[in-house]
């Protein structure tokens, strides 16, 4: 997915369009339950991918970074 999204971003494609194409491409070859499970995983990571694509901070990652920092 990273490569597909990277190419789309460099070409000026909006995130929603790039996401749809990249997700479908990533699921190529999967069927049934495996496809459903990978589709769910991809869906759950959409926010992180979007933040990276648009070079925006991801608040969820920032919250986790605080939790994971050694004290």
pLDDT of residue 69: 57
- pLDDT at position 65 is 60
Q: Show me where the domains of the chain are located.
A: 2-68
What's residue 55's pLDDT? 87
Distance CA 30, CA 35 (A): 5
Identity of the highest mean pLDDT range in 11-15, 44-48, 61-65: 11-15
Q: Residue 54 has what pLDDT?
A: 92
What is the average pLDDT across 57-67? 62
Q: Is the pLDDT of residue 59 over 70?
A: no
Q: What percent of the chain has pLDDT over 90?
A: 69
List, in sequence order, the alpha helices (H) in 1-71: 2-10, 15-27, 32-44, 46-53, 59-68
Give the pTM.
Answer: 0.72
């Amino acid at each position: 997915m990273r490569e597909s999204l990277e190419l789309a971003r460099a070409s000026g494609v909006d995130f929603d369009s790039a996401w749809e194409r990249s997700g479908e491409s990533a699921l190529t070859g999967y069927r049934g339950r495996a496809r459903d499970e990978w589709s769910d995983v991809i869906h759950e990571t959409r926010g992180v991918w979007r933040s990276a694509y648009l070079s925006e901070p991801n608040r969820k990652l920032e919250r986790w970074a605080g939790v994971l920092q050694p004290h």
